[in-house]
Amino acid sequence: MLSEGFETIMKVLMLVDWQVTRLEADSDTIQSPDKLVVNRPYWFFRYWPDTRIEVDVLDIGNRILMNSLESRVLHFYVTQSIMAYLKRKKYDLIISHSARSALALAYLRSLTKERSPLHVVIDVGCFNGGRDNPAELYLIKKASRSLGGIIAHSSVQSDYYDRYMPHIPYRFVHFGVDADYFRPPNLSHDDFVLSFGSRARDYPTLIEAWAKVDKKQTRLKIIGIDNIVNVDSKGSNIDLVGRVPLRTLMLNIAKARFIIVPLPYHKYSYGQMSFLQSMAMGKSCIITRTPSSEDYLTDNTDSLFVRPYDSEDMAEKIAVLLGDTDLNNNIALNARHTIETRFNEKNMAKEFYSFISAIA
């Protein structure tokens, strides 16, 4: 067990690249990664096999201007990392969610060749998007000298680690969603199809495909954006809706006939949260086949794949689900089963624990 050798409870510092709400009592309007409830384990730690731990969460706070600068210009969070660096010696383990919450801290520790406490990164974006930029790689490789391990949610990222960080232990762990929070509702659907997400989406291909489908009165609703650059969506039964609260999004997922997740093609982890949460709610999904999505889905069983940037293929799959209620229902049932048996927070937590135990 990880806590073996410690006279008291093992202390963990968790850095996340989003804002976490602190609560005295639980709230069902906030999903588990976004809240820290007094006297309750944070997020996946509620399934941690070793209960002799104490987890402190350091988020990016509400420093709107500073966060925007650090995220969009620097692509990593300096302020958060400095705060973590100053308190690092109080902990036995540090876990950073994403390179944005890891790189500056890792770089500071590398200057003094510091390796303790163990620092593990859950690398959701392959550090710099998997680019081969020499200047970026110089800083990344220097910072990585202080890292103890890397966890990725897409197997394709292993090529990047083998090439640039062969000295760091690495494991591919499937992302998992909260199968209790995201579950099939007892609601009938309305006559619309839903797509959502504000980043890493190929909406131009989706809108081009939608225009080719004989959808009668069915509408396409896209949540997360107000407009699509250089794309005319007017007159095509399409509603563009900006960002909405999570519960509003969940209500729309529940009432949609099915979900479409159109993805651009990248060789790193992205998009899983959207389609796994939808699948957990018992929805069939049409999803772009990418290296990341192939790690999770079985075509024609718990989802329908479409080829990247292929509007004809997407239009065909949309027409299939619009016209075949039995197929739509069967895929939806299989999708929920996939979440219950494989891609849930409990399984993810056990894999995290297994890897960290092996390298600690």
Share the mean pLDDT of the chain.
Answer: 92
Banded model confidence at residue 217, pLDDT cuts 50, 70, 90? confident
Does 25 score more than 60 pLDDT?
A: yes
Residue 286: name the closest of 267, 252, 310 by CA.
310
Q: What is the pLDDT of residue 8?
A: 67
Banded model confidence at residue 77, pLDDT cuts 50, 70, 90? confident
CA gap 115, 93 in Å, rounded: 11
Q: What percent of the chain has pLDDT over 70?
A: 96
**Which two tokens mark 319?**
């027409």
CA gap 311, 168 in Å, rounded: 40
Q: What is the pLDDT of residue 1?
A: 59
CA gap 265, 202 in Å, rounded: 9
CA gap 184, 279 in Å, rounded: 9
Does 231 score more than 80 pLDDT?
A: no
H helices of the chain, where? Answer: 64-69, 78-87, 103-111, 126-129, 134-144, 158-164, 203-211, 246-255, 272-280, 311-323, 325-341, 345-359
Banded model confidence at residue 234, pLDDT cuts 50, 70, 90? low
Helices 325-341 and 311-323 cross at an angle (nearest 10°) of 100
**Using one digit for the tens of pLDDT, what is the confidence trace for 101-130?**
999 999 999 999 999 999 999 999 899 999
**Which two tokens mark 346?**
């409990």
**Using one digit for the tens of pLDDT, what is the confidence trace for 311-346?**
999 999 999 999 999 999 999 999 999 999 999 999
Q: Do 293 and 271 meet the contact criterion of CB atoms below 8 Å apart?
A: yes
Q: What is the pLDDT of residue 325?
A: 95
Buried b (16+ CB within 10 A) or exposed e, 19-45: ebeeeeeeeeebbbbbbbbeeebbbbb
What lies within 8 Å, CB to CB, of 108 at 6+ separation is 81, 82, 85
Domains along the chain? 10-176+344-359 (3.40.50.2000), 192-341 (3.40.50.2000)
- State in Å, rounded, how far the first CA of the chain is from the last one: 10
**Using one digit for the tens of pLDDT, what is the confidence trace for 236-275?**
789 999 999 999 999 999 999 999 999 999 999 999 999 9
Does 74 score more than 90 pLDDT?
A: no
Banded model confidence at residue 17, pLDDT cuts 50, 70, 90? very high
CA gap 210, 204 in Å, rounded: 10
Buried b (16+ CB within 10 A) or exposed e, 107-124: bbbbeeebeebbbbbbbb
Q: Is the peptide bond prior to 117 cis by the omega test (within 30 degrees of 0)?
A: yes
Residues 190-201, mean pLDDT to the nearest whole number: 94
Q: What is the pLDDT of residue 230?
A: 66
Residues 27-43, mean pLDDT to the nearest whole number: 93
Does 69 score more than 90 pLDDT?
A: no
pTM for this model (two decimals): 0.92
Q: Look at strands 93-97 and 35-37 and give their pairing.
A: unpaired
